[in-house]
Structure 1
Amino acid sequence: MSLMKKLNHCFLAVLLMLTTLSGLLAPQVYGEEDQGQAPSENSLLQSIKDRGELRMGVSPDYPPFEFITMKDGQQTVAGADIELGQKIADDLGVKLNVVTMEFSSLLSSMEAGNIDIIISGMGYTEERAKSVDFSDGYQNDEQAIIIRKDDAEKIHDKDSFTPDMTVGYQQGSIQEGLANEQMAHVGKHAMQQLPDLISALLTGQIDGVIIDSGVGGAHVRAHEDALEMINGHFKLEDDNSKRVVMPKNQPDLQAAINQSVQEVKDQGLMDQWLDESYDLIISEGQEQAEQGVDWLSYWPYYWNGIKMTLLISAVSVVFGLTLGAILAVMRLTENKILSGIAMAYVEFIRGTPLMIQVLFMFLGIGGLFNVPALLSALIAVSLNSGAYISEIIRGGIQAVDKGQTEAARSLGLDRLTTLKKVIFPQSLRSIWPALGNEFVTLIKESSIVSTIGIAELTFQTRAVTSITYQGIIPLLISMVIYFILTFTLTKFLNRWEKQMNAKYA
């Protein structure tokens, strides 16, 4: 059997395997959303009822309002905000679909029509009010600062921070505005996830974290020997209460949500939900304190993340190889138009960050053409990989001595046959190592898709961090897993490379 036939059979087998895996792993997309275009004026309430589903966006790193926990052996999002979302969905007579993503992606995701509302501890600001509408407030907490206990004698409020100190906050939050406006003289450090900020505080990278007092209490209880919370004494001009966020010009939906919010306040449900959330957090914390953290019990998180990471990497390298081969042939053709198109594509993709490409595919193209989050991620990473693989293939083909082409043509072979039968088989010896490196790179770069809620290994690591309130050990476990994956793959590819070199030496 020829080398080309072996490769074709190999690729067909891989595609069949990936098709099966994609069906098995589709549920691993955390809170998969049914995407659509941004709603027209005052049409969203009816669309939700027709669909039978309310898509609620959250960033589940904000206990006790939203956090990831284990329930009946399955990971789930819990908290007071989730209960509020369920109350609104019940009042509308629809089911609730919780869609998780990073806090900074929530507004743009709603603008693209991927989610209907946001309940994620988000408050009113004039800047946000220009693009979205808000419900009435459902919870009002003071703005506090978490500090290390060792610094309690010298830090009493925001004015105690000196220019050589650094304060942290979640990117895109109200706390970011407070830091910029009322702590301008202090060093600042923004991060996507609150658990990362707490870890930075514990390790001395920053000196304080601006946070809602209700949320800060949960983190302090998890590290009561090392942290404490103080009143920041911030000046708050606007109503600081948390609100439900929805697209603009949806008065019917706004009225329905306000009615649900009013019932929650009249019945004191928010305090009840917060108490239940605190009880859950405390019980998990006490269990960990008494028995220690059983890291093996979180293996399902990591295993699900590994499967999703490998799926994304394998699919992307297969389709990236197909696209890369086409682009490489276009680059090598004498047709200047095709060559120019391929060159422009490669340069554009290589000149823009993969994270921007993933976000654009999810929020832009995905919103316009109803592309699910997982498929958006696969397309974005495959398109990116194709640009790099095309250069690998082109370089491999051009590395073959030109005399081989001249000899084949002198024997009467046409250009395509020469490329297929003579040049490409010889170029594989130089293409294969670089192609293997691209696969290894994709395993690591697939972590970027966690920003749109794909539950790959990095996303699952964040989930474990949120549950355990431990920032370092989950990251260490994840690093070891990534190393095992890449090291094993590298050794396998090296062995295959040696076999190829021996056969075609």
Structure 2
Amino acid sequence: MILDILLSSYPLFLKASWLTLKLTAVALLLGCGVGLIIAFFRISSSKVLNYIAHIYITVIRGTPLIVQIAILYFGISNLVTLSQFWAGAIALAVHNGAYIAEIFRGAIQSIDRGQMEASRSLGMSYPLAMRRIVLPQAFRRAIPSLGNQFIIGLKDSSLVAYVGMQDLWGTGLSEAASNYRQLETYMVVGLYYLVMITIFTYFVNRLEGRLATGRAPKKQAKDNSVAA
């Protein structure tokens, strides 16, 4: 029964779930850094930087994640001695960075160009105007898409099990091989993933709601001024 596996193996699965969450958090944090850099390459006037970003995004989006993890994992391990955790996190960061780059690029380009021009006319440098004026608004607009990508990243992290890491899915594979109850074990693993993603989705929705609430008074004030 599923309940038997839940009760007998929960310490093992809780530990594996914590490892999965840490791996996902580190990978997505690194992926955001990579994505932001590639997004700047994409909107840069430099053809070389645009070409580099285009090739990177094309290769990542055009090849399976499991292939990327295997190539990056074994490639990194041949060059530098890294733990499975860090090798897996870097591989996932490289993958997620391509998708996060497009999210950031779209969010940055959605900001009215007049705001950058007005900032430059006030004496701000381009980097300063980008940091103080454009990026805060772009991050706000990117929150829904980033939330979806983070959820996808959490589920995709299960693929590191195939390079030997004992995350939640890797632990589930090991348990199923030892107890010969594959269906029930996999359903328990799915339940753990469902709980984690449901909790994360709740917090993302709360964050979106707070950001939307923060914009409401300004809109209302503008409507009142027009009515007056």
TM-score interval for Structure 1 and Structure 2 normalised by the shorter chain: 0.7 to 0.9
| Residue of structure 2 in register with 1:475 after alignment | 186
Amino acid at match of 2:187: L
Whether the aligned pair in 2 keeps the contact of 1:324 and 1:387 (CA below 8 Å) is yes
Q: Does 1:396 align with 2:100?
A: no
Q: Take 2:192 and 2:186, find their aligned partners in 1: how far apart are those partners?
A: 10
Identify, as 1 or 2, the structure richer in strand: 1
Amino acid at match of 1:439: F
The 5 A counterparts of 1:426-441 are: 426-441=137-152
Amino acid at match of 2:80: F
Q: 1:294, CA displacement in angstroms?
A: 5.3
Q: Does 1:484 align with 2:182?
A: no
| Residue of structure 2 in register with 1:459 after alignment | 170
Q: Which has the higher contact order (CA 8 A, sep 6+)?
A: 2
Q: Give the number of aligned pairs.
A: 215
Amino acid at match of 2:111: V
Identity %: 33
The 5 A counterparts of 1:315-326 are: 315-326=26-37
| Residue of structure 2 in register with 1:353 after alignment | 64
Q: TM-score, normalised by structure 2?
A: 0.87
Q: Does 1:306 align with 2:17?
A: yes
What's the CA shift string for 1:461-505, capped at 9, x where partnerless?
112212221111111111111111111101101111221222244
| Residue of structure 2 in register with 1:420 after alignment | 131
The 5 A counterparts of 1:256-335 are: 293=4, 295-335=6-46
| Residue of structure 2 in register with 1:196 after alignment | none
In our comparison, the structure showing a higher alpha carbon Rg is 1
| Residue of structure 2 in register with 1:275 after alignment | none
Q: Take 2:119 and 2:215, find their aligned partners in 1: how far apart are those partners?
A: 18
Whether the aligned pair in 2 keeps the contact of 1:447 and 1:459 (CA below 8 Å) is yes
Q: Take 1:377 and 1:485, find their aligned partners in 2: how far apart are those partners?
A: 20
Q: Take 2:203 and 2:48, find their aligned partners in 1: how far apart are those partners?
A: 40
Amino acid at match of 1:459: G
The 5 A counterparts of 1:31-430 are: 293=4, 295-430=6-141
Whether the aligned pair in 2 keeps the contact of 1:358 and 1:380 (CA below 8 Å) is yes
Whether the aligned pair in 2 keeps the contact of 1:301 and 1:464 (CA below 8 Å) is no
TM-align CA RMSD: 1.8
Whether the aligned pair in 2 keeps the contact of 1:429 and 1:501 (CA below 8 Å) is no
Where do 5+ consecutive residues of structure 2 fail to align?
217-228
Q: 1:330, CA displacement in angstroms?
A: 1.6
Q: 1:459, CA displacement in angstroms?
A: 0.9
Q: 1:421, CA displacement in angstroms?
A: 1.3
What's the CA shift string for 1:158-200, capped at 9, x where partnerless?
xxxxxxxxxxxxxxxxxxxxxxxxxxxxxxxxxxxxxxxxxxx
Whether the aligned pair in 2 keeps the contact of 1:320 and 1:386 (CA below 8 Å) is yes
Q: Take 1:369 and 1:407, find their aligned partners in 2: how far apart are those partners?
A: 47
Q: 1:437, CA displacement in angstroms?
A: 1.3
What's the CA shift string for 1:123-144, capped at 9, x where partnerless?
xxxxxxxxxxxxxxxxxxxxxx
Whether the aligned pair in 2 keeps the contact of 1:301 and 1:461 (CA below 8 Å) is no
Q: Take 2:194 and 2:4, find their aligned partners in 1: how far apart are those partners?
A: 23
Amino acid at match of 1:404: Q
Q: TM-score, normalised by structure 1?
A: 0.41
Identify, as 1 or 2, the structure richer in helix: 2
Q: Does 1:500 align with 2:208?
A: no
